[in-house]
Amino acid sequence: DAGVTQSPTHLIKTRGQQVTLRCSPKSGHDTVSWYQQALGQGPQFIFQYYEEEERQRGNFPDRFSGHQFPNYSSELNVNALLLGDSALYLCASSSYSLGQGLAYGYTFGSGTRLTVV
Amino acid sequence: SQQGEEDPQALSIQEGENATMNCSYKTSINNLQWYRQNSGRGLVHLILIRSNEREKHSGRLRVTLDTSKKSSSLLITASRAADTASYFCATDNGDDKIIFGKGTRLHILP
């Protein structure tokens, strides 16, 4: 049973460029959440996708956008990259039980390390 | 924004000792979860405790939840070198997203 798969593992981009990160959720999960983790900090919630729509959004600018496909996989796009966007980007998948909310914890991928130079 | 706050920020103990980490949060929650992260890679879910539960066990892990004090603790018994990692608490306040604290860095000394 495959867990969450993220690609690429590492990425180096130049300021002002655009980047797309990809995530395949765990089999059976229908919800994908994206987090940004700066060095030495806890993960910060970017947004969450369910049924191909953005359901929740954290305090991130519009430069951060996403998409979810019919097979539940997801992409995170960041435009006009800044040096401060350098971080570990984590994708997490989950499923929800009707009336109970989050059934179990999130399953995380290994992350994409983005370096902006 | 961070909902939970772990205490201490860093902890070093001898192998075989017990490690206790605490988490305080600000708003009411649906559930609280603990995660482990090794060397800045993906997080691993350890345990989820619902707001109507007070204590939960999983192997060498024991989690308590006090909703009146808005706090939780994670106890790791008989620590091992492999327990060296960062530990995060995360809260779900019912809107189906989880918010993480800044974490406790645990170092197990041989």
Min distance A39 CA to chain B CA atoms (Å): 8
Residue range B32-88, pLDDT digits in tens: 999 999 987 889 999 999 999 999 999 999 999 999 999 999 999 999 999 999 999
* CA nearest to B32 within chain A: A105
Residues in chain B with CB shorter than 8 Å from the CB of A57 are none
- Placement of tokens 């987090």 in the chain: A35
d(CA B63, CA B55): 6
Burial, B94: exposed, middle or buried (Cβ in 10 Å; 0-12, 13-18, 19+)? middle
Looking at residue A97, its pLDDT comes to 59
What average pLDDT does the segment B5-27 reach?
94
B24-53 burial, b at 16+ Cβ within 10 Å, e below that, comes to: bbeeebbbbbbbbbeeebbbebbbbbebee
**pLDDT digits 0-9 by tens, A23-78:** 999 998 889 999 999 998 999 999 999 989 998 899 999 999 999 999 999 999 99
Higher pLDDT, A100 or B47: B47
β-strands A112-116, A10-13: how paired? parallel
Checking if the pLDDT of A84 tops 90, the result is yes
The Cα B81–Cα B58 span in angstroms is 19
Q: What is the pLDDT of residue A101?
A: 56
B98 vs A107: CB contact, 8 Å cut-off?
no
Among positive and negative, which fits the CA dihedral A116, A47, B43, B108? Answer: positive
Predicted pLDDT at A72: 94
The number of beta carbons lying within 10 Å of the beta carbon of residue A95 is 15
Indicate the residue of A42, A104, A105 with minimum beta-carbon distance to B101.
Answer: A42
- List, in sequence order, the alpha helices (H) in A1-117: none
